Each structure stands twice: as C-alpha cells, then as structure tokens.
Amino acid sequence: MATPRPLDINDVQGDILEGLGKKNQIFFFFRVKAGQASNFRDDLRSFIPLVTTTTQAKKFHQTIKDGKKQATEQGKPFPLIENSGVNVAFSKKGLVALGITDNTGDPIFENGMLADAGPSSLGDDLTVWDPNFKKDIHGVITVTANSKIVLERTVDQIKRIFHVGRPDVTIEEVTRLVGQVRPGAEDGHEHFGFNDGLSQPAVQNVDAGVISEPGENPIPQGVVLLGREGDDGLVVPGPNAQPQGVTRPPWALDGSFLAFRYLKQLVPEFNAFLEAHPLDVGNAHAPGDPTGAELLGARLVGRWKSGAPVDLTPLRDNPAFATRQDFRFDQANQERCPFAAHIRKTNPRSDLPAGATTIRRIIRRGIAFGPEVTDEEKRAKRSSNDPKLERGLLFACYQSNLGNGFHFMQESWANNKAFPPENSSVPLVSTPGIDPIIGVGEPRSMVGASPDLAASNQTLDFGAKWVIPRGGEYFFSPSIPALKSRFASPGRPGHHEL
C-alpha cells in the first residue's frame, strides 16, 4: 500500500475506534441473494448514509456526557436522548459474492471462523454450535439504539433499503442475535456480574491524552486499522519476534477485522462453583469484606464485580477503583492476581517484555444477551434448557490482524496452560493453567486461585465450562470511502475509485 493519506476519523466506521452508543443491539447476519449481487451493491449506495462514523459516535458520547453534567448541576433528571447507530461488515464469502476477490493478507479471515474454531485451534465444540453459523454468512449489519423502539425503527428503515418483504429483495437473513444491557445497577455488567468493557487500548492520535497503563504508549493506529503505521503483519512470539510484513489491497485502508463470537454463559453453574470453593477470608467480617465466593470470583477474573482490579485492591472490592487501568502485574508473584486470571491471560502487561503486548491489543465491543437468571434456575443451580432463557455475551472485537489479536489471544494465551511463561516467581509456577473464564484445554485447572502464599500452588479444578461458544464469524469492516467506491455500485460518473 502506498503512503496513505493522514487518518480522518470520518472515514472509519464508528464501532471500531469509538463504539456505538447502545442499550439495545441487533446483529443481523445476512447473505446476498443469489443473482442479486449487482442490485445489492445498488442498495448499498442508499444504505451508506446510515452508517455511523467515528466522528458521529464520538459526538453522541460527548452529548451524553455534557447532558449528564448539566442535569447534575441543575438537579434535574437526565433526559433520554434518542440515538441509533449502524455499521456493516463482510465475511470473506461476502467479499467474493460481491466480486471482491483480492487477498486481504489475513489467512485466518480468508478461511473463516468455522475453519478456525475446532479443537486444534480455538477449541470450540462444534457439535454445540448453532447450525446457522455453519451456513454461508456474507455479512453482518449491526444496529444499536437507546431503546427497543428506536432500534426497531432503524431496522425497518434498513429493511426498506434492501426491499425486504418484496420480490426484488437483495438480502436474505441467515440469523439474528439481539443483545441488551442488563437492567438497573447491572448496566454495563456481563451476566456473571462483572463490569465489562473497561480496559481498552488508547489509539495514537485518536484517543488524545489517554495512556491507560504505566510504561505503555498508545498503540499505533495500524494495530487496529489496516494499512496504517503498525499494520506490519503477523508476529510469531519468541526472542526475535519481528513482524513478517503484509500486503493489503488499496480498499482495505482504514478497515478493521471484526471477530464476532456468540458465547453462552452458564451463570447458575458459575455461581454454584464459587459457592462450593470459597477462599479463606477468616471468620471476622468487617463491612465491605467479601465472602470467600466473591474473592474467588474476583481472582478468576482479575477484577472485582465493580471492575476494581485485584492487583490494586486484593482483599476487598472498591468501586472507586472500577475503571483503573494504571497497574502492572508483579512478574515474580501471583499473590495479588493469579497468572491465569482472565485479565492477566488476555493482557499480561508486565509479564512480557515492554512493548510485546502492543501488537496483541484488541478493541472489545461486546453486549450481554438473554434474560436474567430466574428464581428456579437459582434454586436448581443449573441453567434452564429452554432456549428462550439462554444468556451470555455477544463478543465482538476489532484488530488489523486476527493472527496477532483475537485468534492468538484465545489459542496461545487463554487456552495455553503454560502461559504466562515460567519466571522466577515465588513459589515457582511452571504451569499457571488455562483461563478459567474462556480457556479451553486439559487439564481444566489453574494454580494461584488463593492469595495465601502457602496455598497458592494448589490446583483448582474447574470441571465443566461456564462459557460455551455457539458460533461466530470473522468479518471485515470497511472504511466509508471503500464502502462507497469498492463495495457499493458506482454512483455518479467520475466518482473516485480507491
């Protein structure tokens, strides 16, 4: 790719660098109707004005922030601001259906998630995948809104653009997944109860002035956006880890790969496990002291339910620390945070040499789906078999290279019992175990769950899994200029080709 023009965030879809404002979200997985590719590309031209840019998404968040501030100052309730966001992304099969056959330079995207999901790679049990994700999916349109009504209204507008319900329809629905933030105080928390979406990398010249971790600089734009500085190809870890270089088609500039995962969560079973394996918190309970089950939950995740990192507040939750990112792990020690804790596995910070995690950072945009746990499920300590009561996380993350980002994180960190690698910790830990939240592999266990040094090398066996992947796909989320000039049909004469 030739030296690109400077980044203009108007060109980048809003979910990537900013996140679409949302209480409700729908992921509409579609196929371009056979023989209708050309008409679909015409319809896409009418659809593009609906696509939310980074600038628009940022503006919406700023309006909310200002509105909340003003309402607090005036002692008034915060007014509901109507909002809806729309983004679109295509699978490899979708690119081909549109006649875009260039190699994107990312073999994991080129082969699709189904080929990557099995036991020898991500580790999914494909027999429990929703059969819809084994069908051909060409793309995903995601719509977010601040209410169900606004969401439905935007969905209807999109249906009209693609002539849904009419003989000249150009897309077919493969399946849809609907997410919503959890009610009341659980807003922003996923179904196990933990505050989610907190730690995100700051991107150079986009998230001005935000440096999340001490000793870490904002990540180069190319870790997220194709064709930007830092999009240098696969990095195979090792003492001489160097990016291998990559060639991108011109239309890929300012696009990003979206890894989407449909993850079911077994919430009563997770809670029952915590209750059955409480950590020793002594007998005396001061106000604010956790139960043994709460302490175990926090140490499996690496954060308390409020979001406070156990590394900063190891003995009790402290909501004042909820959004803190300014911590490093002590390489020689897992007393404050287990090596296998979910956040230590997925962002090992100082467990690896300075700068080694930069290329591995992803931007997460998940949302919870499904209803709250029912009283009956709580009593039975088991999730219901009723599909209407299925719950979990619609996990979505962006990166410029799946082999450096999501795929690597799941396969080489979360599923790898030997990661982080042995160091001079006391006591010495050669095998920290798999990630207790998302890890797959044998044995299903970790060490270091207990903060008590004498007990810290004891193995904690998890037995069953609490997060069950039920499907997913890899998509490419193009820039707005690429949508206009490469994906949609040519509009007015003389329009600019990328």
Residues of the shown chain interacting with ligand N7H in the complex, contacts defined by CB under 6 A: 190, 192, 194-199, 261, 263, 265, 301, 303, 307, 342-343, 346-347, 362, 364, 392-393, 395, 406, 409-410, 414, 437-438, 467
Token match 């150079």: residue? 204
For residue 16, how many C-alpha atoms fall within 13 Å in the half-sphere facing its CB?
35
Q: How far is the CB of 476 from ligand N7H (least distance, A)?
A: 19
Nearer Cβ to ligand N7H (198/252):
198
Q: What angle do CA 87, 91, 94 make, to 5 degrees?
A: 100
Q: How far is the CB of 345 from ligand N7H (least distance, A)?
A: 8
Angstrom distance (rounded) from CA 397 to CA 347: 14
Token match 């996990």: residue? 395
Instruction: Please indicate whether residue 156 is annotated as part of the active site.
Output: no
Structure tokens at 248: 């991108």
Active-site choice (124, 196, 231, 351): 196
Nearer Cβ to ligand N7H (437/488):
437
Q: How far is the CB of 437 from ligand N7H (least distance, A)?
A: 4
Angstrom distance (rounded) from CA 27 to CA 469: 16
Nearer Cβ to ligand N7H (186/229):
186
Nearer Cβ to ligand N7H (308/483):
308
Angstrom distance (rounded) from CA 173 to CA 384: 28
Nearer Cβ to ligand N7H (100/414):
414
Q: How far is the CB of 258 from ligand N7H (least distance, A)?
A: 13
Q: How far is the CB of 40 from ligand N7H (least distance, A)?
A: 31
- Per DSSP, 51 falls in state S
For residue 33, how many C-alpha atoms fall within 13 Å in the half-sphere facing its CB?
17
Polymer length in residues for the chain: 498
CB 336 within 8 A of CB 330: yes
Q: How far is the CB of 397 from ligand N7H (least distance, A)?
A: 6
Angstrom distance (rounded) from CA 351 to CA 327: 12
Alpha helices in 333-441 (DSSP H): 342-346, 375-380, 406-408
Nearer Cβ to ligand N7H (8/186):
186
| Helix axes of 148-161 and 37-47: crossing angle, nearest 10 degrees | 130
Question: Which residues, including other chains, have CB under 8 Å from residue 399's CB and lie 6 or more apart?
Answer: 223, 224, 256, 257, 259, 361, 362, 363, 405, 406
Angstrom distance (rounded) from CA 221 to CA 218: 9
Q: How far is the CB of 172 from ligand N7H (least distance, A)?
A: 28
Nearer Cβ to ligand N7H (14/201):
201
The radius of gyration of the chain from alpha carbons, rounded to an integer in Å, stands at 23
- For residue 473, the surrounding DSSP H or E stretch is strand 467-477
Structure tokens at 194: 């933990």
Nearer Cβ to ligand N7H (219/429):
219
Q: How far is the CB of 344 from ligand N7H (least distance, A)?
A: 8
- The DSSP code sequence of 279-323 is ----S---TTPPPHHHHHHHHHHSB-TTS-BTTTSSSS--GGGTT
CB 26 within 8 A of CB 151: yes
Give me the active site residues, please. Answer: 196
